[in-house]
Amino acid sequence: NISGLTLLGLGTMGTALAHAWLAAGHPLTVWNRTPGRAKPLVGRGARIAASAAEAVAANRLVVTCLLDDASVGETLDGVDLAGRDLVNLTTGTPAQGRARAVWAAERGARFLDGGIMAVPPMIGVQEAGAFVLYSGSHDLFDEHRDTLAVPAHPVHVGEDAGYAALHDVALLSAMTGMFAGIAHAFALLRREKEISPREFAPMLAGWLTAMTSSAYSTADQLESGDYTRNVTSNLAMMVEGNATMLRTAEEQGVSAELLTPFMTLMERRLADGHGDEDTTGVIDLILH
Ligand code: NDP
């Protein structure tokens, strides 16, 4: 069952989505604020709409992939959405997702908010490991699941329209910490002529992969409420280790500013008398 759809927004990501749906044989109507970006898609079978309103009128399923939430509001301002199934793949915050769901309901549309966990070259490549988080109308999701599965594996994370953005940002936030750690690790080695970054990279990637199991033990501690459960490296020992990391940074002429915010929280938790935990207690310290 290959159904047609409309796509608003042909930036880098929107264009990748368009190519995936066209390659899978879905009739596609596209619109972009700057019309020139749609032209290369005509040869691939896309229909170009002259306005966002015309594009929305063409199909029940309407996907937006625009810069930010404000551009979604601007693009769909005054457009008749009654009876449409609106899927918003524009990155936003949980509150923006929830507000957009109310906004869509007021206009008679079913709504799904989405968060794309991929970069454009991964779109439509089934083995790339990409996925798209969705939250909001489960009925919409079930009905269009096959179409939504074309760009990347679809995962519905709740009826609360804010949950896709919340999961998305949680994953991106963890990734940001990882990027900071990778940057610091390479900085430590930077002045050593005998150590090649390319040779170090597989060791670093393998180490980080091995350490990801900490996500499971943290989850287990949070759900049980016992932060000392299955602790293999206790906080007292880790804070000692932090001192070694800071001294090494100094020896290598590297600023420790990427590390110190987390280390400071570890020290605070230790000072509060939780030396027998690992780092899960830091979560309680940063909750307002
Ligand atoms: P681009 O900057 O390449 O494209 C932005 C798109 O938004 C263009 O189509 C642009 O139109 C349009 N746009 C911007 N402002 C407005 C406006 N006021 N009214 C109408 N249209 C507007 O971004 P991407 O395609 O990379 O990203 C799109 C979304 O996908 C973002 O929310 C991004 O966070 C998300 N995403 C992107 C990823 C990536 O790696 N690229 C990864 C995961 C999610 P115009 O051509 O006229 O400028």
Q: Which domains are seen in the chain, by residue range? A: 5-159 (3.40.50.720), 167-286 (1.10.1040.10)
Q: Where are the beta strands (DSSP E) in the chain?
A: 5-8, 28-31, 47-48, 61-64, 85-88, 110-117, 131-136, 153-156
CA 226 to ligand 1 centroid distance, Å = 44
The distance from CA 193 to its chain's CA centroid, rounded to whole angstroms, is: 36
**Dihedral (CA of 83, 85, 88, 94) sign:** positive
CA 9 to ligand 1 centroid distance, Å = 7
- Closest protein CA for atom 12 of ligand 1: 66
CA 29 to ligand 1 centroid distance, Å = 17
Residue-wise pLDDT for 221-274, tens only, equals: 999 999 999 999 999 999 999 999 999 999 999 999 999 999 999 999 999 999
State if residue 32 touches ligand 1 by the CB under 6 angstroms criterion: yes
CA 60 to ligand 1 centroid distance, Å = 22
Residues 6+ apart with CB under 8 A from 260: 246
Which of 7, 13, 89 for a ligand 1 pocket mutation test, highest count of atoms within 8 Å of Cβ? 13
CA 89 to ligand 1 centroid distance, Å = 10
CA 31 to ligand 1 centroid distance, Å = 13
Residues 6+ apart with CB under 8 A from 89: 13, 17, 63, 64, 65, 114, 115, 116, 132
Q: Which residue is it, tokens 């027998």?
A: 276
Residue 250 in contact with residue 260, Cβ under 8 Å?
no
For the chain, residues with pLDDT lower than 70 are none
Q: Which atom of ligand 1 is nearest to the CA of 91?
A: 32
- Closest protein CA for atom 37 of ligand 1: 13
The model's pTM: 0.94
- Closest protein CA for atom 3 of ligand 1: 11
For residue 33, the model assigns a pLDDT of: 98
Residues 6+ apart with CB under 8 A from 271: none
ipTM of the complex: 0.99
For residue 186, the model assigns a pLDDT of: 98
How many C-beta atoms surround the C-beta of residue 33 within 10 A?
15
CA 65 to ligand 1 centroid distance, Å = 6
For residue 76, the model assigns a pLDDT of: 98
- Closest protein CA for atom 42 of ligand 1: 119
For residue 267, the model assigns a pLDDT of: 98
State if residue 140 touches ligand 1 by the CB under 6 angstroms criterion: no
Side by side, which strands form the sheet with 61-64? 47-48, 28-31, 5-8, 61-64, 85-88, 110-117, 131-136, 153-156
Q: Which residues of 184-223 are buried (b: 16+ CB within 10 A; e: fewer)?
A: bbebbeeeeeeeeeeeeeeeeeeeeeeeeeeeeebeebee
Beta bridge partners of 156: 134
For residue 189, the model assigns a pLDDT of: 98
For residue 174, the model assigns a pLDDT of: 97
For residue 126, the model assigns a pLDDT of: 86
Q: Which atom of ligand 1 is nearest to the CA of 92?
A: 32
For residue 72, the model assigns a pLDDT of: 98
